[in-house]
Structure 1
Amino acid sequence: MMSETIELKGMTWSDPRGCDPVVAAAEAFAKTRPGVSIIWDKRSLQGFETTPVDELAARYDLMVIDHPHVGSVADRGCLLPFETHASDDELAELANQSVGRSFQSYFLHGRQWALPIDAATQVQAHRADLSPRVDRWTHVIRKAEDGFVIWPLRSPHVLMSFYTLAGNLGRPCATSFGNLIDTDSGLQVLDALRAVSRHMDEAFYTMDPIAALDELADSGRYHLAPLIYLYKGYANEGYRANRLHFTDMPVLGRNGPLGSALGGTGIAVSAKTAHPQLCTEFAIWLAGAECQCGLYARSNGQPGNALAWSSAAVNSPVLEAYYNTRLTHETAWLRPRHDGYMQFQEEGSEIVAHALRGRLDPGAAISRLNERFRASFKDRSAR
């Protein structure tokens, strides 16, 4: 009697970092499960950051998602909590192997909605062949004055930079109902951002990290991207014309490289899948140390597992990017995840961008950020 044929569908994002490792993992997993296949579709980085998860869950068994989406779906029954089919020991092991708050970022309302497979936060990228890394934000300003700084300021990355510097000052933005940030701290952050952005090309407001890193690696015009999400591929030999070095973020405050706005991705399972146990087994294996330290890292992946980050074999091909950004990642700040946050993220990005471009008074920008943040809590904004 022939075994059952099962085809699972997955959705990831189109960069090699997002696509190649899950495709390779799916092929390896299928070899251990006769009759099982996992077919992956992919969407752009912008689509990854904005597409509602509930739309994906209606069409796919497995999804690579961004943690800020969790709040909008946690109570809607579209994702399968991992506690349903994973053991407590399996989840505890992955929690202990988390890079910073990556595992926690997918835990909300007492349930684990995704497992981290890729860890990232805003760090520093630079061309070591052109100039050394910088340590402080004052050095970034000097580099910007000389025209050597490139900085992706497209939504949501302009808001992420605001978050990062607020956290680095020791005045992290709020994650619960109330004002996003006090006026004095908000103005200090905007002043620091504007000290750099006033020297920036307008084109940077249309750039995401991939576009900025492409330009940094392929031209000799820019030396430094001061706040940009880790993309380990640009440190690999032969990925672009020149290799990039990734190191801890330049600091504005006195607390070291802490407060960076956490990014990364997680693997989630649709509540509508006909094969929840099988999907859970794949996700647990994908996020685990065995896969992450080996196949995942070798297949263009940027691991989310701390054992991979501690591996010399994983660090060597990427100019020790994981070693050199570990402190920034371990002390990264976890942004809001409530239902209603995603709309604020878009609105907040526009407000900060207008302030940096001189189209909105800084004081008015902080007031508007606070107003829109309070309003994003749909069940409390009228109080």
Structure 2
Amino acid sequence: MVREVTLKGMTWSDPRGYDPVVAAAAEFFRMHPGVRITWDKRSLQGFESTPIDELAATYDLMVIDHPHVGAVVLDGCLLPIDLHADAESLLRLEGETVGKSFASYRLDGHQWALPIDAATQVQAIRPDLQPAPVQRWDQVMEAARDGAVLWPLRPPHVLMGFYTLSANLGDPCAVTKGPLISRKTGFAVLQALQAMAELVDPACRTMDPIAALNALAYSPRHRIIPLTYLYAPYALEGYRPNRIAFHDIPAIGIGGPIGSALGGTGIAISARTTEPALCTRFAIWLASAEVQRGLYSANNGQPGNARAWGDPAVNAAVGNAYANTRLTHEAAWLRPRHKGYMAFQEEGSQIVLDAITGRTSHATALDALDQRFIESFPE
């Protein structure tokens, strides 16, 4: 007799977040008759801000991002993947990760999620208007003076740009308690960001990466987004009226495309689930190279597995978006993950936005960033 089980999952509403897990649930049901996984979805803004403990009270499986992990550890709302996963499977997935994706979900000796989607800030261009990517930040400024640049400034993405430029200059922001950034680098980054903010359309202040990429895809004159999270489906033919190509970030420092603020998502399991072993089996399967370069990529998914990223067929479908941004991803910077960080991310984003749009001085902003960052750590 087939055992009937229904698991509830929560993901985010973009096709990149929703379509591949729905397709995976259907295939898992075919492989395991009686095991149904239903998926709900929330907005990108909700995905970035909703506390995990709220979701864990309702769902068995959750797609999360890594800055929540510190709160997860102290709140005890997620099941450590390693409690029911075999060590060999975890070691294999760690070896197949893109950059720090696997490590971003490991804290306090446990693995709290498995990477299923790798992303960091990259460069997006319209290849019909901009045949080749730019290499340096001064080239971005030149294009901005021509009115050709879009840039998602809606929090938290304005703070992600601050992080990326800081790390690219070779002086990354702190991840432990103390001042967030050195004064010299902080001033340099705010000056660079303000110079750009004064040249782009004020509408950028309300744009997240999805809105900016949609605007780029439809625009007759914009041709570059210098820093935006990779959304590989926009590189598919026919996904939007004009295809977008993705490349390594333009450098403001001397080390090349390093230090981009890591994003991406992982599959996590609620500590309250009544099916921990089954959820773990699904999570490992979903993160596997076989699924990631197969049905996951074929259903608007953006894989987190390096074997998918290196697959010629997977790359061909998205204009080599993975190959062309691989260096940026491998050299990405890992954000703080302590409990209290998410509140700082919200406050810090507004502080940076106020500084680069002339509402407050750069000195005042840097003082506030340091103070809020230090206060964000538990006593």
TM-score normalised by the chain length of structure 1: 0.98
Contact 2:66 2:337 in 1 (8 A): yes
CA shift at 1:133, angstroms?
1.6
CA shift at 1:193, angstroms?
1.0
Structure 1 residues 271-290: Cα deviation after superposition (integer angstroms, max 9, x where no partner): 10000000000000000101
Alignment-derived partner of residue 206 in structure 1: 206
Task: Find the aligned partners of 2:168 and 2:6 in 1 and give their Cα distance.
Answer: 46
Task: Find the aligned partners of 1:106 and 1:158 in 2 and give their Cα distance.
Answer: 23
Does residue 301 of the first structure (1) align with residue 301 of the second (2)?
yes
Alignment-derived partner of residue 122 in structure 2: 123
How much identity, in percent, do the aligned residues show?
A: 62
Structure 1 residues 211-253: Cα deviation after superposition (integer angstroms, max 9, x where no partner): 0000000121211000000000110000000000100000000
Alignment-derived partner of residue 96 in structure 1: 95
Does residue 50 of the first structure (1) align with residue 43 of the second (2)?
no
Gaps of 5+ in 1: none
Alignment-derived partner of residue 286 in structure 2: 286
Structure 1 residues 174-197: Cα deviation after superposition (integer angstroms, max 9, x where no partner): 000000001111001111111211
Task: Find the aligned partners of 2:199 and 2:268 in 1 and give their Cα distance.
Answer: 41
Task: Find the aligned partners of 2:202 and 2:244 in 1 and give their Cα distance.
Answer: 23
Task: Find the aligned partners of 1:373 and 1:202 in 2 and give their Cα distance.
Answer: 28
CA shift at 1:261, angstroms?
0.1
Does residue 234 of the first structure (1) align with residue 234 of the second (2)?
yes
Task: Find the aligned partners of 1:267 and 1:334 in 2 and give their Cα distance.
Answer: 18
Amino acid at match of 1:291: V
Amino acid at match of 1:54: D
Alignment-derived partner of residue 73 in structure 1: 72
Moved over 6 A (4+): none
Task: Find the aligned partners of 2:2 and 2:311 in 1 and give their Cα distance.
Answer: 39
Alignment-derived partner of residue 157 in structure 2: 157
Task: Find the aligned partners of 1:370 and 1:147 in 2 and give their Cα distance.
Answer: 34
Deviates more, 1:88-97 or 1:191-200: 191-200
Contact 2:123 2:225 in 1 (8 A): yes
SS at match of 1:11: strand
CA shift at 1:378, angstroms?
2.3
Deviates more, 1:188-197 or 1:19-28: 188-197
CA shift at 1:75, angstroms?
2.1
Amino acid at match of 1:23: V
SS at match of 1:18: helix
Amino acid at match of 1:364: T
Amino acid at match of 1:139: Q
Alignment-derived partner of residue 342 in structure 1: 342
Deviates more, 1:332-341 or 1:360-369: 360-369
CA shift at 1:88, angstroms?
1.0
Amino acid at match of 1:354: D
CA shift at 1:77, angstroms?
1.6
Task: Find the aligned partners of 1:225 and 1:315 in 2 and give their Cα distance.
Answer: 21
Task: Find the aligned partners of 2:115 and 2:208 in 1 and give their Cα distance.
Answer: 22
Alignment-derived partner of residue 277 in structure 2: 277
CA shift at 1:209, angstroms?
0.4
Give matches, 1:347-358, under 5 Å. 347-358=347-358
CA shift at 1:5, angstroms?
0.9
CA shift at 1:73, angstroms?
1.2
Alignment-derived partner of residue 311 in structure 1: 311
Deviates more, 1:157-166 or 1:356-365: 356-365
Alignment-derived partner of residue 63 in structure 1: 62
SS at match of 2:191: helix
Structure 1 residues 121-164: Cα deviation after superposition (integer angstroms, max 9, x where no partner): 00000011112321100011111111110000001000000000
Alignment-derived partner of residue 220 in structure 1: 220
Task: Find the aligned partners of 2:145 and 2:209 in 1 and give their Cα distance.
Answer: 21
SS at match of 1:74: helix
CA shift at 1:32, angstroms?
1.3
CA shift at 1:4, angstroms?
2.1
Give matches, 1:109-120, under 5 Å. 109-120=108-119
Alignment-derived partner of residue 136 in structure 1: 136
Alignment-derived partner of residue 368 in structure 1: 368
Does residue 12 of the first structure (1) align with residue 11 of the second (2)?
yes
Task: Find the aligned partners of 1:4 and 1:286 in 2 and give their Cα distance.
Answer: 21
Amino acid at match of 1:194: Q
Deviates more, 1:334-343 or 1:197-206: 197-206
Amino acid at match of 1:265: T
SS at match of 2:75: coil
SS at match of 1:274: coil
Amino acid at match of 2:253: G
Task: Find the aligned partners of 1:143 and 1:368 in 2 and give their Cα distance.
Answer: 32
CA shift at 1:340, angstroms?
0.2
Amino acid at match of 1:31: R
Give matches, 1:6-45, under 5 Å. 6-45=5-44
Contact 2:74 2:339 in 1 (8 A): no
CA shift at 1:83, angstroms?
1.1
Task: Find the aligned partners of 1:375 and 1:201 in 2 and give their Cα distance.
Answer: 34
Amino acid at match of 1:11: M
Task: Find the aligned partners of 1:22 and 1:205 in 2 and give their Cα distance.
Answer: 31
